[in-house]
Amino acid sequence: MKYGRYEIQEELGKGSMGVVYLAHDPQIDRPIALKVLRPDRVTSEAFVQRFLKEARTIGRLSHPNIVTVYDIGQDRETIYIAMEFLEGDPLNKTLEERRVGFEEIISLGLQMAEALHYAHGRGVVHRDIKPSNIIVGPSGRIKITDFGIAHIEDPAGSVQTQAGEILGTPAYMSPEQVLSRPVDGRSDLFSLGVILYEMAAGRRPFQGESMAAVFRAVTQENPDPPDRVNPAVSPDLSRIIMKCLEKDPRGRFET
């Protein structure tokens, strides 16, 4: 099977928007990751044009900690994105398998922050920062994936699509996302704070037995500082994390 010139080799994973394949680019003779949108996501010609415009913006991002987009195209009444194929594991797998050390938290956090600073400076907000979108390579270098895809699907920044599906993963969403308010780069910083908290404290800051309970925690509850949960966490790191987790975006770092 092929999409455009790309030869499908195997399925790597699937999500609400589509399927990601390992594919081969015969023109350059290299492996790529090919994200193919579900046909029911391609709802209109206006959507197609908006998607292509936003994808081109994302494709212009060039940063060592952001996955590279090589190409976008249309085939079989759907849209595909050809991206850099990454070696490594998603951060959520690492968090499931072991506790992350202090130095590793600092290294991963700085890389994520640098990538977000770069993207925000170019007007691109991720909107779905979560461990499964952070790939940790064998050398410890991270790559953020799916940059801007949520914004392509829902440029107004609302929490729900027309089909009623949640954009973003509840436990990592910012209060403004949960409340369907406009978002900017500070929303990504909140999500970054959630990841840092999870690595430092060994648990997520916002939990609940239902989506509604998680949303309530995100918007109304203040978690214990990570250095209170884990005394090995430095007070300085704990303060940085808690500033990222301010409910009001104005209380967070600007970038």
Cα–Cα distance, 207 to 170 (Å, whole number): 9
Per-residue confidence (pLDDT) for residue 151, from 0 to 100: 56
The answer on 15 and 55 residing in a single domain is yes
DSSP string, 5-40: TEEEEEEEEE-SSEEEEEEEETTTTEEEEEEEE-GG
Q: Which residues of the chain have pLDDT under 70?
A: 16, 148-168
* Catalytic residue selected from 25, 89, 128, 146: 128
Per-residue confidence (pLDDT) for residue 159, from 0 to 100: 39
The answer on 95 and 18 residing in a single domain is no
Cα–Cα distance, 75 to 67 (Å, whole number): 23
Cα–Cα distance, 160 to 228 (Å, whole number): 35
Tell me the per-residue pLDDT of 194-209, one tens digit each, with 9 for 90 and over: 999 999 999 999 999 8
Based on the structure, what is the number of domains in the chain?
Answer: 2
Prediction pTM value: 0.87
Catalytic annotation on 146? no
Own/partner long-range contacts of 97-100 (Cβ < 8 Å, ≥24 apart)? 99/202, 100/199
Please give the structure tokens belonging to residue 2: 């092929």
| Residue numbers of the domain that contains 25 | 2-84
The answer on 100 and 18 residing in a single domain is no
In which order are the strands placed within the sheet that holds 6-14? 2-3, 6-14, 18-25, 30-37, 78-84, 69-75
The answer on 184 and 59 residing in a single domain is no
Per-residue confidence (pLDDT) for residue 169, from 0 to 100: 81
The answer on 102 and 69 residing in a single domain is no
CATH number at residue 6: 3.30.200.20
The answer on 200 and 125 residing in a single domain is yes
Domain boundary residue, one of 84, 111, 139: 84
The answer on 108 and 173 residing in a single domain is yes
Per-residue confidence (pLDDT) for residue 165, from 0 to 100: 40
The answer on 217 and 134 residing in a single domain is yes
Closest Cα to residue 149, out of 36, 80, 54? 54
Distance from the first to the final alpha carbon of the chain: 43
Tell me the per-residue pLDDT of 125-170, one tens digit each, with 9 for 90 and over: 999 999 999 999 999 999 999 875 555 544 444 333 333 344 458 9
Per-residue confidence (pLDDT) for residue 153, from 0 to 100: 46
Tell me the per-residue pLDDT of 103-113, one tens digit each, with 9 for 90 and over: 999 999 999 99
Closest Cα to residue 167, out of 193, 191, 195, 144? 191
Please give the structure tokens belonging to residue 196: 């840092």
The answer on 222 and 96 residing in a single domain is yes
The answer on 159 and 55 residing in a single domain is no
CATH number at residue 222: 1.10.510.10
